[in-house]
Amino acid sequence: MSRKDYVLFDKKTKAFVYGYQTNAIQRMLDFDYICNRESPSISAIINPSRAGIHKAFWGTKEIILPMYKTIALAAAAYPEADVMVNFASHRSAFETTMEALQEGSIRTVAVIAEGVPERQSRIMSATARKLGKTVIGPATVGGMAAGAFRIGNTAGTIENIIASKLYRPGCVGFVSKSGGMLNEAFNIISRNSDGIYEGVAIGGDRYPGSNLLDHILRYEANPAIKMIACLGELGGEDEYKIIQALKEGRITKPLVAWVTGTCSPVLPASVQFGHAGAKADTQKETAQAKNDAFREAGAYVPTSFDGYGDTVRLVYEMLLEKGLVKKFAEPQVPRIPADYGKSLASGDIRRPTTFICTVSDDRGEELLYAGKKLSSVLDQKMGIGGVIGLLWFKKELPDYASQFIELVLQIVADHGSAVSGAHNSIVASCAGKDLISSLCSGLLTIGPRFGGAIDDAAREFKRAKETGMTPEQFVGDMKKRGINIPGIGHKIKSVKNPDKRVQLLIAYARSNFPSTGLLNYALQVEKLTTAKKGNLILNVDGCIGILFLDLMSSCGAFSKAEIDEVVRLGYLNGLFALGRSIGLIGHILDQKRLGARLYRHPAEDIAYMMPSEEDIQCKR
């Protein structure tokens, strides 16, 4: 694609954005969209830390922008992109810009970073000149060609772009040092003429990559630009290059110029203005001297910045009168949809949520557990039992209740390596699986036959007692239905060899709970079942489930409906899963620490009973 030398950006310009600046990228695309560009101005993003894609909006649609790790890869993939908007920090702005300048296809680099060393800036500038390329910046927001292309954040919000009519070209070429004043100048110029054709801020540093005159000469050469406006600054002699060009007749279009910093003579010499280059070292570098020289060389110079707009208007009307510019019809501007996040934040829109969370909230300054600050949870020494109270039940439980939960967790924490959960975990760990996989393998055995009887026991005993069955009727009823009573029976323990864990739980409950009605009922049931068989004792699962119901109904924190819900939803098995995870993790890590090898079950422990050949024949 061949562009005239004086054209840096047009409606077909394609660019790379160096640095993952998602806001600036979206702003560039939104600008493209309201300018009715055929396609987005960004070919690709260069992000040294990640290759891949970036999703962005093109109007209401989403589009994908490719992302490359290096300039070379991006340039090879998109030779038509001739601009790089360089958001690299001041530490890497130099090397990335130099790299981009070495790419044959990249003609223009805009350097946004502030604080680039002067030596580096001069080398970038000289290199660009030698190669016939352009560097805009450093320390600038960039620039834009109205209705065609914008660099990064230039011209700010869409509302501002529309207010200053930047979605279509006018006849004024503008250049300033200050990036912050660019937008203001667009505003002033659009109010006093048919608007901006192109505007560039070269940056406030002492040695900008391209200078005011470079851009003014481009504007002079561009037949679409009818008048030139420039905003200079005290310090440096850049403006004298323009004045020289005016005198030599190299600038023939009307030039509106103003140099800021006229206040400096009345300020102490040591004041450093906001821009690094803004300091007059000689009389010639003062704003007054420059403004006078501009005036003398034939530029249109207002008497103060206040009059800048009036002077622009004066020149524009003169051009209108001479017929050098003509009024034109305004194009239709497509609407940019409001940004969801922004509209939501400003309260303009609402949207139903998909999830509700009542457990914890990490959005604020401090993490909340059921609305309670983590720091108060710790200050009150609520412990694991208290945290479970908050996160599972959303209640601050009385201390004896929290301690009961902790007692349960301690009691169920482990039961040797031979039980299903631990065994599975150990086998998985020996097979070289990671901690989480091995833990899951163990947890998956928890169910109706292993550790999962707590809820069932609670449910059955609660039903029996609430429906007014005597223990005898309950045992009879279960027998009739052919169901083993959940929570009753143990493989090894019996009346003669009681389960110590059950004894501990009962002792705690008797001395701490206001009442233990269901436990008393269950012990009556146990009397009946152990009379039949010694090992049909109240087991640990049953005991936990039943005591939890006693706890909930006597501590005053739970309504009847809440208790029903706890039982219905299976809260209590959670206690077993949580407590036993402690033991499972211990077993898994134990195997790893011991360097255990793959487990293979001994063949002699398996009865191999193959079906006969006959058995497997299909018998029709």
Partner 1 sequence: MAQRGIREYDAKRLLAKYLPEYLNDFSYRGDLALVGPETDLEGLANTNPWLRTERLVVKPDQLFGKRGKYGLVLLDANWDGVKKYLNENMGAEVVVGGIAGKLTHFLIEPFIPHDEELYVAISSDYDGDNIFISPQGGISVEENWDRVIRVHVDALEGIDNMDLRAQLERSLAGKAASVEKFVLALYQFYAELGFAYLEINPFAFHGSSIVPLDMVAKLDDAEEYWQRKRWDSLAFPEPFGRSLSREEQFIKDLDSKTGASLKLTILNPEGRVWTMVAGGGASVIYADTICDLGYAREMANYGEYSGDPNTEETYYYTKTILDLMTRHISPEGKVLLIGGAIANFTDVAKTFKGVVMALEEEKEKLQAAGVKIYVRRGGPNFEQGLKLMREEGLKLGVPIEVYGPETHMTRIVPLALEGAMQ
CB of 75 vs partner 1, minimal distance in Å: 22
For partner 1, give the closer residue by CB, 190 or 424: 190
Q: Is the peptide bond before 471 cis (omega within 30 degrees of 0)?
A: no
For partner 1, give the closer residue by CB, 346 or 515: 346
CB of 309 vs partner 1, minimal distance in Å: 7
Q: Rule CB under 8 A: say whether 260 interacts with partner 1.
A: yes
Out of 271, 344, 444, 483, the residue judged to bind partner 1 by CB under 8 A: 271
Q: Rule CB under 8 A: say whether 178 interacts with partner 1.
A: yes
- Ranges of beta strands (E only) in 94-145 are 108-111, 134-136, 143-145
**Which residues between 16 and 35 bind partner 1 (CB under 8 A)?**
23-24
Out of 223, 268, 323, 352, the residue judged to bind partner 1 by CB under 8 A: 268
Q: Among the candidate windows 263-271, 311-319, 435-443, 601-609, which touches partner 1 by CB under 8 A? A: 263-271
In single-letter form, the type of residue at position 319 comes to L
Q: Which of 547, 576, 552 is nearest to 564 (CA)?
A: 552
Q: Which of 74, 79, 80, 77 is nearest to 96 (CA)?
A: 74
Q: In angstroms, rounded to a whole number, what is the distance separating the alpha carbons of residues 400 and 390?
A: 15
**Which residues between 122 and 141 bind partner 1 (CB under 8 A)?**
122-123, 125-127, 130, 139, 141
For partner 1, give the closer residue by CB, 180 or 570: 180
Burial of 413 (0-12, 13-18, 19+ CB in 10 A): middle
* The pair of three-digit structure tokens given for residue 209, joined into one six-digit string: 């990559």
CB of 122 vs partner 1, minimal distance in Å: 5
Q: Tell how far CA 320 is from the center of its chain.
A: 51
How are beta strands 196-201 and 172-176 bridged, if at all?
parallel
Site string for partner 1, 190-209 (x = CB under 8 A): --------------xxxx--
**Which residues between 285 and 314 bind partner 1 (CB under 8 A)?**
287, 304-306, 309
Looking at 54, 215, 275, 587, which residue is catalytic?
A: 275
Q: Among the candidate windows 39-47, 102-110, 226-234, 349-357, which touches partner 1 by CB under 8 A? A: 226-234
CB of 12 vs partner 1, minimal distance in Å: 25
Q: Among the candidate windows 269-277, 446-454, 478-486, 543-551, which touches partner 1 by CB under 8 A? A: 269-277
For partner 1, give the closer residue by CB, 125 or 516: 125
* The pair of three-digit structure tokens given for residue 467, joined into one six-digit string: 């429906």
For partner 1, give the closer residue by CB, 117 or 570: 117
Out of 51, 181, 435, 504, the residue judged to bind partner 1 by CB under 8 A: 181
* The pair of three-digit structure tokens given for residue 56, joined into one six-digit string: 């962005």
Strands of the sheet containing 368-369, edge to edge, are 360-361, 368-369, 372-373
Long-range contact set of residues 490-499: C-beta below 8 Å, sequence gap at least 24: 490/535, 490/537, 490/539, 491/535, 492/535, 493/535, 493/537, 493/539, 494/530, 494/534, 494/535, 494/537, 495/530, 495/534, 495/535, 495/537, 496/534, 498/537, 499/537, 499/539, 499/540
Q: Rule CB under 8 A: say whether 269 interacts with partner 1.
A: yes
Out of 25, 148, 155, 457, the residue judged to bind partner 1 by CB under 8 A: 155
CB of 63 vs partner 1, minimal distance in Å: 23
Helix axes 560-569, 571-593, angle to 10 degrees: 40
Close Cβ partners of 148 (under 8 Å, ≥ 6 residues apart): 9, 10, 11, 13, 35, 37, 169
Close Cβ partners of 472 (under 8 Å, ≥ 6 residues apart): 528
For partner 1, give the closer residue by CB, 271 or 507: 271
Question: Is there a catalytic annotation at residue 275?
Answer: yes
- Give catalytic residue positions: 275
Q: Residue numbers of the site for partner 1 (CB under 8 A)?
A: 23-24, 90-91, 114-119, 122-123, 125-127, 130, 139, 141, 153-157, 160, 163, 176-184, 186-188, 204-207, 211, 231, 233-234, 260-263, 266-276, 278-279, 287, 304-306, 309, 346
